[in-house]
Structure 1
Amino acid sequence: MNWRLLWEDLRELPVLFRLGRALQRCGPEGRETLGVLAREQAERFGDRIFLRFERETVTFAEYNQEVNRWAWLLRQAGVSPAEPVAILMENSPAFLFAEGAVAKCGAIGALLNTHLRAEPLAHVLRISGARHVLVDQACLPALVELPEAAQYTIWALGDPAELPPHVEPLESALAAAETREPPLPDVRGKHVFLYIYTSGTTGFPKAAIVRHARFMMGGLGLSALLGIGREDVVYAPLPLYHGESNFVGFAVALRAGAGFASRRRFSASAFLDDVRRHGATAFVYVGELCRYLLRQPPRAEDRQHRLRLAVGAGLRPDIWEAFQQRFGIARIVEMYGATEGNIALINLRGRVGSVGRAHPFQHHRYKLARYDVERGELVRGADGFLVECDVGEPGELLGRITRSGPMPYDGYTDRDASERKVVRDAFERGDAYFRSGDLLRRDADYYYYFVDRIGDTFRWKGENVSTQEVALILNRAPGVSETNVYGVTVPGHDGRAGMAAVVLFPGASFDGRRFYETAEELPSYARPLFVRLVPEMDVTGTLKQRKLELQRQGFDPSQITDPLYIRDDNLRTYVPLTADVYEAILRGERKL
Structure 2
Amino acid sequence: MPTYGWPVTAGLTTADLLAARADDPHPGLLFADQRYSWAEIVAAGRRRAALASELRRPGPFHIGVLLDNTPEYLFWLVASALAGAVTVGINPTRRGAQLAGDIRHVDCQLIITDGAHRRLLDGLDTGVPAERVLEVDRDRYRTLLAAQDGLARSDARIEPATPMLLMFTSGSTGAPKAVVCGQGRFAAAAGYMTGRLGLGRDDVAYNAMPMFHGNALMACWAPMLASGGTWALRDRFSASGFLPDVRRFGATFANYVGRALAYILATPERPDDADNSLRLVYGTEAADKDLAEFPRRFGCECLEGYGSSEGPIAIGKLPGTPPGALGLPTSESDVAVLDPETGSECPRVRFGPHGEIVNPEAIGELVRRDSGFVFEGYYRNPAATAERLRNGWYWSGDLTYRDEAGYFYFAGRGNDWLRVDSENFAAAPVEHILARQPGVLVVAVFPVPDAHTGDQVMAAVELEPGARFDPEAFEAFLAAQSDLGTKWSPRFVRVVARMPLTPTNKLDKKPLRAQAWECTDPVWWRPAPGEALRLVTEQDRSALREALAANGRAHLLSGAPS
Under a length normalisation based on structure 2, what TM-score does the superposition of the two structures give?
Answer: 0.90
**Counterpart secondary structure, 1:99:** helix
Residues in 2 aligned to 1:336 and 1:263: alpha-carbon distance in whole angstroms: 24
**Paired AA for residue 387 in structure 1:** E
- The aligned counterpart of 1:412 is 378
The alignment status of 1:582 with 2:541, answered yes or no, reads: yes
Residues in 1 aligned to 2:173 and 2:261: alpha-carbon distance in whole angstroms: 24
Structure 1 residue 38: deviation in Å?
2.0
Residues in 1 aligned to 2:320 and 2:272: alpha-carbon distance in whole angstroms: 25
Residues in 2 aligned to 1:410 and 1:242: alpha-carbon distance in whole angstroms: 16
| Unmatched tracts of structure 1, length 5 or more | 161-168, 371-377, 425-431
- The aligned counterpart of 1:52 is 30
Matches within 5 A, 1:175-574: 175-329=146-300, 331-349=301-319, 351=321, 352-360=323-331, 362-363=332-333, 365-370=334-339, 378-380=340-342, 386-391=344-349, 393-400=362-369, 402=371, 405=372, 407-413=373-379, 414-424=381-391, 432-490=392-450, 492-520=451-479, 521=481, 522-556=484-518, 560-567=519-526, 573-574=532-533
The alignment status of 1:142 with 2:100, answered yes or no, reads: no
Structure 1 residue 359: deviation in Å?
3.0
Residues in 2 aligned to 1:588 and 1:141: alpha-carbon distance in whole angstroms: 46
Deviates more, 1:60-69 or 1:171-180: 171-180
Residues in 1 aligned to 2:291 and 2:72: alpha-carbon distance in whole angstroms: 34
Residues in 2 aligned to 1:134 and 1:588: alpha-carbon distance in whole angstroms: 52
Under a length normalisation based on structure 1, what TM-score does the superposition of the two structures give?
Answer: 0.85
Deviates more, 1:186-195 or 1:574-583: 574-583
Q: 1:79 touches 1:107 (CA, 8 Å); kept in 2?
A: no
Q: Judging changes above 3 Å, is the alpha-carbon distance between structure 1 residues 38 and 587 closer, same or farther for their aligned structure 2 residues?
A: closer
**Paired AA for residue 456 in structure 1:** D
Structure 1 residue 64: deviation in Å?
1.0
Q: 2:110 touches 2:128 (CA, 8 Å); kept in 1?
A: no
Q: 2:43 touches 2:151 (CA, 8 Å); kept in 1?
A: yes
Structure 1 residue 108: deviation in Å?
1.3
**Paired AA for residue 483 in structure 1:** V
**Paired AA for residue 321 in structure 1:** A
**Paired AA for residue 265 in structure 1:** R
The alignment status of 1:125 with 2:128, answered yes or no, reads: no
Residues in 1 aligned to 2:290 and 2:303: alpha-carbon distance in whole angstroms: 14
**Counterpart secondary structure, 1:38:** helix
**Paired AA for residue 237 in structure 1:** A
- Structure 1 residues 20-73: Cα deviation after superposition (integer angstroms, max 9, x where no partner): xxx23xx4xx2x433332231132x32x21111122211111111101111111
- The aligned counterpart of 2:357 is none
The size of the alignment, in residue pairs, is 531
Residues in 1 aligned to 2:437 and 2:520: alpha-carbon distance in whole angstroms: 23
Residues in 2 aligned to 1:174 and 1:470: alpha-carbon distance in whole angstroms: 54
Q: 1:35 touches 1:101 (CA, 8 Å); kept in 2?
A: no
Deviates more, 1:226-235 or 1:32-41: 32-41
Q: Judging changes above 3 Å, is the alpha-carbon distance between structure 1 residues 567 and 323 closer, same or farther for their aligned structure 2 residues?
A: farther
Structure 1 residue 292: deviation in Å?
0.9
Q: 1:80 touches 1:106 (CA, 8 Å); kept in 2?
A: no
Residues in 1 aligned to 2:189 and 2:143: alpha-carbon distance in whole angstroms: 35
Matches within 5 A, 1:7-26: 8-9=2-3, 12=4, 19=7, 23-24=8-9
Q: 2:103 touches 2:126 (CA, 8 Å); kept in 1?
A: no
Q: 2:348 touches 2:404 (CA, 8 Å); kept in 1?
A: no
Q: Judging changes above 3 Å, is the alpha-carbon distance between structure 1 residues 147 and 410 closer, same or farther for their aligned structure 2 residues?
A: closer
The match for 2:135 among 156, 162, 166 is 156
- The aligned counterpart of 1:66 is 44
Deviates more, 1:228-237 or 1:476-485: 476-485
- The aligned counterpart of 1:163 is none
Deviates more, 1:133-142 or 1:224-233: 133-142
| Unmatched tracts of structure 2, length 5 or more | 351-361, 549-562
**Paired AA for residue 382 in structure 2:** R
**Paired AA for residue 535 in structure 2:** P
Structure 1 residue 523: deviation in Å?
2.5
**Counterpart secondary structure, 2:526:** strand
**Paired AA for residue 347 in structure 1:** K
- The aligned counterpart of 2:71 is 93
Deviates more, 1:56-65 or 1:390-399: 390-399
- Structure 1 residues 342-377: Cα deviation after superposition (integer angstroms, max 9, x where no partner): 1111224373433231235x14x211112xxxxxxx
**Counterpart secondary structure, 1:185:** coil
Report the identity percentage: 31
- The aligned counterpart of 1:429 is none
- Structure 1 residues 307-355: Cα deviation after superposition (integer angstroms, max 9, x where no partner): 11111111222322122222221x3221112222411112243734332
Structure 1 residue 81: deviation in Å?
9.4
Residues in 1 aligned to 2:30 and 2:128: alpha-carbon distance in whole angstroms: 35
- The aligned counterpart of 2:557 is none
**Counterpart secondary structure, 2:400:** strand
Residues in 1 aligned to 2:297 and 2:393: alpha-carbon distance in whole angstroms: 41
**Counterpart secondary structure, 1:138:** helix
- Structure 1 residues 95-134: Cα deviation after superposition (integer angstroms, max 9, x where no partner): 0100110111111111111111111111111111122111
- Structure 1 residues 381-406: Cα deviation after superposition (integer angstroms, max 9, x where no partner): xxxx523432552221101252xx1x
The match for 1:170 among 118, 141, 164 is 141
Q: Judging changes above 3 Å, is the alpha-carbon distance between structure 1 residues 261 and 572 closer, same or farther for their aligned structure 2 residues?
A: farther
Structure 1 residue 477: deviation in Å?
2.4
- The aligned counterpart of 2:551 is none
**Counterpart secondary structure, 1:515:** helix
Q: Judging changes above 3 Å, is the alpha-carbon distance between structure 1 residues 216 and 326 closer, same or farther for their aligned structure 2 residues?
A: same
Structure 1 residue 503: deviation in Å?
1.1
Residues in 1 aligned to 2:440 and 2:32: alpha-carbon distance in whole angstroms: 32
Q: 2:282 touches 2:305 (CA, 8 Å); kept in 1?
A: yes
**Counterpart secondary structure, 1:320:** helix
- The aligned counterpart of 2:88 is 110
Residues in 2 aligned to 1:75 and 1:587: alpha-carbon distance in whole angstroms: 62
- The aligned counterpart of 1:374 is none
Structure 1 residue 79: deviation in Å?
5.3
**Paired AA for residue 21 in structure 2:** Q
- Structure 1 residues 137-185: Cα deviation after superposition (integer angstroms, max 9, x where no partner): 332111233134663511111133xxxxxxxx32221122221041342
Q: 1:333 touches 1:350 (CA, 8 Å); kept in 2?
A: no
